Structure 1
Amino acid sequence: MADQDEIPHLHTTTAHVHEDSDVSIKSLGIFLAALAITMIITGALMIGLFDIFLDEAERADVSPSPLAEPGEPAPPPGPLLQVAERLDLRLHREAQDKLIHEAAWIDRDRGLVRIPIDRAIELTAERGFPDWPPVAQGVAAEGEAKQ
């Protein structure tokens, strides 16, 4: 093994090889004081802001109905889950069938009625569609390219 004295040293000078200056205690103290003051002010602002939000939330709360039982939890706000899909679909289809299969007044003053779909198909087959007003020669219809 080689002796320790034979290993070349990187520092050949006898002067000390560490930093000559220290951290400024005054600057460090000012920084820490400013940091502490900033944290205190920020905390106070957050507490104040939380109180403001809490007051707004309390004012926005709706008081329960006097008819509601005190131990009964309030239902969640809508939209609610669909618990009887088949029943809902059947009721929807019945309402739509009633609209297309029964006659009813739409506007009595203007004389507008809704007729059953089967009768509307029969009338359209007998009479055809109403005539559309003629289009001017120089004007292309919507969706058509000019030639």
Structure 2
Amino acid sequence: MSVPVDPVSREDGFEHHDANVKVLMMVGFSIFVVLLLSGAGVAGLLWWYDKQPEPPTTALERQLQIPPEPRLENDPRAGGNRVLSQARMLISGYGWVDREAGLARIPVQRGMALLAERGWPSRAEPGETTPPRVQQAKGRAQP
């Protein structure tokens, strides 16, 4: 089934009934003008708001008030650096975790070297109560 085509459209090579270009151009130009006017209005309001005098401050606003505890950090970068330096000291130095139990901490590099040398400790056999490596470690860690 064929649709009849307007003879003028056939001569021009396009359909005249699809869209009116003149109306589309007017709508596009109108939108552009409205956007320009809106931008100019916002710029004018910002300029006017900027020229308004500052309201005078009250005595309460001038008074320095310290909020109650807990307060936010004043210098978060310094606090973070302090936490990082404490963590670096913990993982790179020797120290006691529990002196009574003979439990000490060693640097990470030294621990990795010991694990590479001795291997990972195995679990206790079903008949044993504690693995033999743990007993040896407790004996060496005494002060």
TM-score normalised by length of structure 1: 0.39
TM-score normalised by length of structure 2: 0.40
Q: Whose Rg is larger?
A: 1
